[in-house]
Structure 1
Amino acid sequence: MNRYGERRARLCAQMQPGAVAILPTAPEAMRNSDSEYPYRHDSYFYYLTGFTEPDSVLVLVAAQAGQAAQAILFCRQKSVEREVWDGFRHGPDGARAAFGFDFAFPIEELNKEMARLLANAPAVYYALGHSAALDLQMKTWLQAVRCQARSGVTAPTVAHDLLVLLGEMRLFKDDFEQVLMRRAGAISGAAHLRAMRASKPGMFEYEIEAELLHEFRRSGAQYPAYTPIVAAGANACVLHYNANNAQSRDGDLILIDAGCELDSYASDITRTYPVNGRFSTPQRLLYDLVLAAQSAALAAVQPGRRYSDIHDSAVSVLVQGMLELGLLDKTVYGNVDNAIAERAHLQFYMHGTGHWLGLDVHDVGAYRDVHAEGKPSRPLAPGMVLTVEPGIYVRPAAGVPEQFWNIGIRIEDDVLVTPGGYSILSEGAPRLVADIEAAMGQR
């Protein structure tokens, strides 16, 4: 059984005996006129199938007494004519053989087969409320089953959110996924290093972005995992800046938040560096503060520690530095605990310190232990992959030392939780001031 078949079997084992799960892939989307956006399959669907063609639906039937579990794919038929225009199609028979499904049917037979598959099933699993089109289709299928009531056929009476089960499965990366994500991190790290070495005052942000994209594709990554952020100077204080069209100036810091997608798995790295190759004193003071915050956060990445410990550790270091550097007034807040209680740091650090990472950049999986009283932050465990990304963003404001104005810094790495602690997947991108300046000295 292949890895996708193993995942399907694990999912079916968690379902009610005889229940049916339905999971369509993502639809194609038009960009303009008759031009489509590059197609990207649904991550949940891909996780269970490895199948990347559009117009596809996976149906699983959980085992019950006297009947083994079934995995059924609905997909586009083979078409010599369409393959001339659009490329290879597996077709139902080819997909069944290549991906290990028990049965495969043309997508045109979905409605007919669903009326059969849902008949007498005790429950149905699908993405409840995530798609109006799927909700409507489900209503149509159930109505078709109910029309058979005079023949003694019953429709499912219970619906479960399939994505809850799949989110928990996807949260823990197996060995194959870890290898892919480490490779994605290495490609992205090399791209950040290339961008550093190419940068010089006067370059436009999009010129630096082009260096990233070149390295991604040259190294085999299919896409950026998200729209890259290349922010010079004050633009780095805009968290989701992505216009990438400003010209850098001598003395600017460049903040790059960019990662590639390799075989559907994302990387997500942020580095901040001086475009002229040398940090000024104010820039270095803030950079070293963010780096210290990241070090504290990384120390909290241990099996059994709470996910929230990562953020709390970073915030404690950042707030101490904000008080020492005069960003926060000691006479007003007194100490770190008081400043945090007053949420004073939100002026300069307003986001969390990370997120899950995997098939999606902001990957799925609960951040809280939903089975524990009070739903506390969940404990970390081996196989989880997350980002650790503290930052500081200083906009001009009354009472804020002018030497720090318009400095935005974030340092982000991809981190695998291991039995003994953690492993950084993105080490190829320099983080230390000395390493950054040395790398840029090789331009």
Structure 2
Amino acid sequence: MIKHTLLPVAEFYQRRNDFIAQMPENSIALISAGKEVTRSNDTEYPFCQSKHFYYLTGFNEPDAILALIKGDKSASVRSVLFSREKDSLQEVWHGRRVGQKQAIEVYKFDNCFSLAEVNEQLLPLITGKTAVLICQHEQNEFQQQVLNWLAEIRKAARTGVKAPTTLIDCSGILNEMRLHKSNAELDIMRQVNIISGAAHQRAMQQTKTGKFEYQIEAELLHEFATNGARYPAYSSIVAGGDNANILHYTDNDEVLNNGDLLLIDAGGELAGYAADITRTFPVNGKFSPEQSTIYQLVLDSQNLAIAAIKPGQTLAELNRIVCNFLTEGLYDLGILKGNLTVLLAQRACKKYFIHGLGHWLGLDVHDVGDYHASSKREQLRAFVAGMVMTIEPGIYIPNSDKSVDEKWRGIGVRIEDNILVTATGFENLTVNAPKTIADIEAVMAH
């Protein structure tokens, strides 16, 4: 069990102020919370808060609305929350609510009203503003509600009331803010990596020939939850043998066979922040010569990419490094055939390395943030300290690929770590998930 560090309320308060500073004068931003989603009849999926809303509030109830108000130069900025009201009967059935008084006292909003008061209290805040900011990715239902409010205000135009004339998508502001992690965020991301790394160790130790993929998934979920990461950050991939060659395989219902590899892509979520770790290891605890050859090729390429991470570096350059290395390696093994110079120019390894090298990581697994992709899909965003990304090269040779020697078929390998860009280079947050062949075999021998 590890001691968790949660984000202080002061951090959410500062984020709201930083966001308001980037709003146009005389504008209002409206950000909606997530909604509960029905799973079946009268049961719901575990609630997952809208990440933009959570980033600005730390408030974890559904249906709430955040209003951030910026007046002219002489006006003070304000944050107003609309949330579910205290209701003793509902709380007996469904759990405690924060309520309006505590929202102000605990979460430091300037004011808080119940959702029943939203029309009465919010319309005057919108009236007279020049612009309304919303997140275009928000639920269509909320966007329609905003348009309805604007239409309501326009009805009173004859009385001198002025409605906002501009609707602005503020997702870009929040995406950019979220891309740069604070020290408090990084503390949580280190912790969720440790929890997730321990889960991968547990999975290695519990894997045996004849078990089912879902039994190993259960071991992962047990380790996450035992250590405070109540839910996985995404549906775990537990893919034995040729299933590893299905990139988003989540059926997790087949038996584990002797002589196969097992690819696990799984990470916990802690205080809203995700880990995203992949490990590949032999079901029987010992790599075959062919498996170890492909595995070491992927691991060496990952180590090359990670070592090159520093401020000013780009994913495009890391991709070039990895693609050249994997293309040469696959050529040397006879898996790629032809003229090496041509193969390198064509990035021929992409036949077997069929996804990207990495992505931003944070409140979302595939986190927000502009990659500055070119027309050739090259990700040219220069790294700066505080960015966190995955580095996850892979080689996938399905059983159906008759162009290669039979000994390589059915091998699928991915290795994925979570990397922080620092002022001088990088920090690998994935510190306790074994990934060398020797370390994996040693863990599985116990």
Structure 1 position 381 matched with structure 2 position 389: no
Equivalent residue runs for 1:196-235 within 5 Å: 196-235=204-243
Shift of 1:260: 0.2
SS in structure 2 opposite 1:257?
A: strand
Structure 2 regions of 5+ residues with no counterpart?
1-8
Name the counterpart of 2:192. Answer: 184
Shift of 1:398: 2.8
Name the counterpart of 1:65. Answer: 73
Structure 1 regions of 5+ residues with no counterpart?
none
Q: For residues 122-146 of structure 1, what are the alpha-carbon distances to aligned partners after superposition, in whole Å with 9 as ceiling and x for unaligned?
A: 1111012643212211211111111
The 1:53–1:432 alpha-carbon spacing in structure 2 relative to 1, beyond 3 Å, is same
Shift of 1:359: 0.5
* Residue identity matched to 1:127: C
* Residue identity matched to 2:435: R
Equivalent pair of 1:300/1:313 in contact (CA under 8 Å): no
Name the counterpart of 1:273. Answer: 281
Q: Which moved more, 1:259-268 or 1:396-405?
A: 396-405
SS in structure 2 opposite 1:2?
A: helix
C-alpha separation between the residues in 1 aligned to 2:119 and 2:197? 47
SS in structure 2 opposite 1:311?
A: helix
Q: Which moved more, 1:98-107 or 1:298-307?
A: 298-307
Name the counterpart of 1:437. Answer: 441
Name the counterpart of 1:365. Answer: 369
Shift of 1:343: 4.6
Q: For residues 70-97 of structure 1, what are the alpha-carbon distances to aligned partners after superposition, in whole Å with 9 as ceiling and x for unaligned?
A: 0000000001111111111011111111
Q: Which residue of 9, 15, 18 corresponds with 1:10?
A: 18
Name the counterpart of 2:6. Answer: none
Give the aligned CA root-mean-square deviation in angstroms.
1.7
SS in structure 2 opposite 1:20?
A: strand
Name the counterpart of 1:148. Answer: 156
C-alpha separation between the residues in 2 aligned to 1:216 and 1:128? 33
SS in structure 2 opposite 1:53?
A: coil
Name the counterpart of 1:403. Answer: 407
Name the counterpart of 2:393. Answer: 390
Equivalent pair of 2:391/2:417 in contact (CA under 8 Å): yes
C-alpha separation between the residues in 2 aligned to 1:152 and 1:354? 54
C-alpha separation between the residues in 2 aligned to 1:175 and 1:238? 36
Q: For residues 373-409 of structure 1, what are the alpha-carbon distances to aligned partners after superposition, in whole Å with 9 as ceiling and x for unaligned?
A: x996110011001100000000132321111100000
Equivalent pair of 2:237/2:266 in contact (CA under 8 Å): yes
Identity of aligned residues (%): 44
SS in structure 1 opposite 2:366?
A: coil
Shift of 1:200: 1.4
Could you tell me the TM-score, scaled by structure 1's length?
0.95
Structure 1 position 323 matched with structure 2 position 331: yes
Q: Which moved more, 1:402-411 or 1:374-383?
A: 374-383
C-alpha separation between the residues in 2 aligned to 1:44 and 1:135? 15
* Residue identity matched to 2:355: H
SS in structure 1 opposite 2:328?
A: helix
Name the counterpart of 2:49. Answer: 41
Name the counterpart of 2:119. Answer: 111
Shift of 1:152: 2.0
Q: For residues 176-231 of structure 1, what are the alpha-carbon distances to aligned partners after superposition, in whole Å with 9 as ceiling and x for unaligned?
A: 10000000000000000011011111111111111111111111112000010111
Q: Which residue of 58, 77, 93 corresponds with 1:85?
A: 93
Name the counterpart of 2:183. Answer: 175
Name the counterpart of 1:291. Answer: 299
C-alpha separation between the residues in 2 aligned to 1:307 and 1:272? 23
Q: Which residue of 141, 159, 179 corresponds with 2:167?
A: 159
Q: Which moved more, 1:90-99 or 1:187-196?
A: 90-99
Equivalent pair of 2:34/2:50 in contact (CA under 8 Å): yes
* Residue identity matched to 1:440: M
